């Protein structure tokens, strides 16, 4: 992609939310640039990155927004959520608190976003299986109850990151067409 004459059929905004340090920025770096950093610094200000994919023969530009540190101050603004068609709700499988905060994030998300919002619950850092404290079954059950998609990912190992985004983008596409 990126060449002159490339056409984009749709732009879908997707937001990343969840507690600080769960791996949101690294999930985005993996998806948008196929990069990963172990010492990622929290960045300031709202940022997004894009990646264009072909889904069902249409060129879809995913515009992925990253909270960039605001999650620490519960200061994610409505501008962040505005126009979002998808959301990645991320916790860290090695930090119970980040999973316990998911209902709060979900409430905030549902308070701001479109009613057709497609939501994927993501348990990140699946490479740290020996430090796991959130059982897969607990998250699966919660996701089912709330009508969310659910996957465990590793931004480090690139496990399920593309699958998570393509699942959400495909569902957005299916809902709107
Ligand atoms: P954010 O605050 O949610 O954006 O989290 P970051 O993306 O900045 O990641 C926080 C820390 O977790 C960084 O040290 C990352 O390198 C690390 N991290 C992110 N994803 C993974 C992962 O899948 N596995 C492991 N082991 N570490 C990760
Ligand atoms: Mg970040």
**Alpha carbon of 59 to ligand 1 centroid (Å):** 30
Mean pLDDT rounded to a whole number for the chain: 90
In degrees, rounded to 5, the angle at the alpha carbon of residue 170 between the alpha carbons of residues 18 and 56 is 155
Nearest ligand (C-alpha, residue 94): 1
Angle between helices 161-176 and 24-33 (to 10 degrees): 80
Given a cut of 50, is residue 1 above it in pLDDT?
no
pLDDT at position 46 is: 54
Mean pLDDT across 106-110? 93
71 or 92, greater pLDDT? 92
- What pLDDT is recorded for position 37? 86
Integer Cα distance of 10 and 12 in angstroms: 6
- Name the residue of 33, 155, 158 to mutate for ligand 1: max ligand atoms within 8 A of Cβ: 155
Closest to 65 (Cα-Cα) out of 1, 130, 113? 113
Band of residue 66 on the pLDDT scale cut at 50, 70, 90: very high
- The helix (run of H) or strand (run of E) holding residue 114 is none
Percent with pLDDT over 70 in the chain: 89
C-alpha distances in Å from residue 85, one per residue of 106, 134, 158, 173? 14, 28, 24, 10
User: What does the pLDDT look like over 5-36, one tens digit per residue?
Assistant: 578 999 999 999 999 999 999 999 999 989 88
């Amino acid at each position: 992609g990126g060449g002159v004459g490339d056409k984009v059929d749709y732009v879908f905004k997707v937001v990343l939310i969840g507690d600080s340090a769960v791996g949101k920025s690294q999930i985005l770096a993996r998806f948008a640039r196929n990069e990963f950093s172990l010492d990622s610094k929290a960045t300031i200000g709202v940022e997004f990155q894009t990646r264009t994919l072909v889904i069902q023969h249409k060129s879809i530009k995913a515009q992925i927004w990253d909270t960039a540190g605001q999650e620490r101050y519960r200061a994610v603004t409505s501008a962040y959520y505005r126009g979002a068609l998808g959301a990645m709700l991320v916790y860290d499988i090695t930090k119970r608190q980040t999973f316990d905060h998911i209902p709060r994030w979900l409430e905030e998300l549902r308070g701001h976003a479109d009613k057709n919002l497609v939501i994927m619950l993501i348990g990140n850092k699946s490479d740290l299986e020996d430090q796991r404290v959130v059982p897969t079954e607990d998250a699966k059950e919660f996701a089912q109850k709330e009508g969310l998609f659910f996957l465990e990912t590793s931004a480090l190992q690139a496990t399920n990151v593309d699958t998570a985004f393509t699942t959400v983008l495909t569902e957005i596409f299916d809902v709107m067409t």
